[in-house]
Amino acid sequence: MSKGKSNEPLIVVKGLQKAYRTPAGDFYALKGIDLEIWPGEFVALLGRSGAGKSTLINMLTGIDRPTAGEIWIGGQAIHRMSEGKLTRWRGREVGVVFQSFQLMPMLTCAQNVMLPMDFANRYGTPRRQYARARELLAAVDIAMHADKLPAAVSGGQRQRVAIARALANDPTFLAADEPTGNLDSRTAEAVFSVFQQLVAAGKTIFMATHDRDLAARVSRVLHIEDGLIVEDTRPASPAEGYELVAQMEA
């Protein structure tokens, strides 16, 4: 990814629409989103179930394709990429974290982290990739579980593995879809602090969440309703953030 300069947005979304075919006709999950995200931002996307949060995350990560509109990330038009190119691009340039972790059950935590490196042919030999995977797992504080299967660790630990995997190829942009949705509040807090450290280290994070407390502590809050961004605010402090989030929810 061409690292966006601070005076240029990392992500530019123009007129983004996404329609799903249903027996009752086309259903528009996104109805025309315009958005710019700048490098180093920690963006929270708030909204009710079905508002379009996951759809927008899927569009920004190239997991799904828009019906209309443009998505530019790091200067690349991902709306024009083929499925194969998108996959390659995502593997190298984007880290994605899901509520349901999406780990490979038969691979150990370290091997899950190694998988993106393997497919991207990065970081040399499997031995070097393993060393890097351990470093990343140490960074999210679960190096001691590196050689265990995901089924042998807790939900919070699995999410940390998923975050370590998202960082495997050192992307500047991380997308997280309800990353704390399956976690208790203490674990959610721990995962959130990992995100904060990553932002502090220069990563850009786009996080869809239901959690008002977490959303209030990010640098920018977007509120989506019926497929449209209805509010876009940058709280100056957590206190202001709480207030803004409370207003959005109201």
Partner 1 sequence: MIRVRWYKVISDLWSHRTRTLIVSLAVAVGVYAVGAIMATQTLMLREFHSDRNDAQLAEAILYTQPFDAELAERVQEEIPGVIAAEGRESLRARVPVDGETRYGIEIVAIDDFATMRVDSYPFIEGRWPDAKNEIMLEHMGLALLGVAIGDTITIELPDDTQKHFVVTGVMHDPTYPSPEITGFTTAAVTPAGMEYLGGLPLFTELRLRLDDAVVASQGAQGIVDAVQDRIEKSGRTVVGRTIIGKSIIESIVNTAVMILSFFGWIILLLSAFLVINTISALIAQQVNQIGIMKLVGAGRGEMVAMYLTLVLVYGILAFSIAIPLAVLTAQYLMTDLIAPLVNLRPESLALPWWLYAMMVAIGVLIPVLAGVLPVWQGTRITTYAALNELGMQTGTAAGGFFERMLARLPKRWLQRPLVLAVRNTLRHKGRLLRTMIVMILGTSLFIAVISVRVSVDTTQADFLRYHQYDVQVQFQEAHRIARLEQAALTVPGVVRVEARTFGSASRTRPDGVESNRYQVIGVPEGSTMIDPIVQAGRWLRPDDEYAVVINATVAQDEPDVQVGDTIVLKMNDRERTWQVVGIVGADAQGPKIFMNRTVFGYENRLPNRANSVQVLTETHDLLGQKTMESTLLRHFEKLGYAVLTTRTTQTLNSQNGLMFDIIVGFLILNAVLLGLVGSLGLSTTMGINMLERIREIGVLRAIGASNSAIRRIVLLEGLVIATLSWIIGFALSYPVAQVMSEQIGVALLDTPLSFTYALPAAIIWFFVLLLLAVAASLGPARNAVRLTIREVLAYE
For partner 1, the closer CB: 9 or 99:
99
Distance CA 130, CA 41 (A): 30
Q: Is residue 191 involved in binding partner 1 (CB under 8 A)?
A: no
Q: Is 84 in the site for partner 1 (CB under 8 A)?
A: yes
For partner 1, which is the closer residue by CB, 36 or 64?
64
Got the DSSP string for 3-28? PPPTTS-SEEEEEEEEEEEETTEEEE
62 lines the binding site for partner 1 (CB under 8 A) = yes
* CB closer to partner 1, 132 vs 217: 132
Contact 135, 176 (CB under 8 A): no
Q: How far is the CB of 224 from partner 1 (least distance, A)?
A: 18
What does 83-137 look like in DSSP terms, one character per residue?
Answer: HHHHHHHHHHHEEEEETT----TTS-HHHHHHHHHHHHT-SSSHHHHHHHHHHHH
Interface of this chain with partner 1, residues 114 to 153, rule: CB under 8 A: 114-116, 118-120, 125-127, 129-130
Q: Which residues bind partner 1 (CB under 8 A)?
A: 58, 62-65, 83-84, 86-88, 90-92, 96, 98, 102-107, 111, 114-116, 118-120, 125-127, 129-130, 165, 168-169
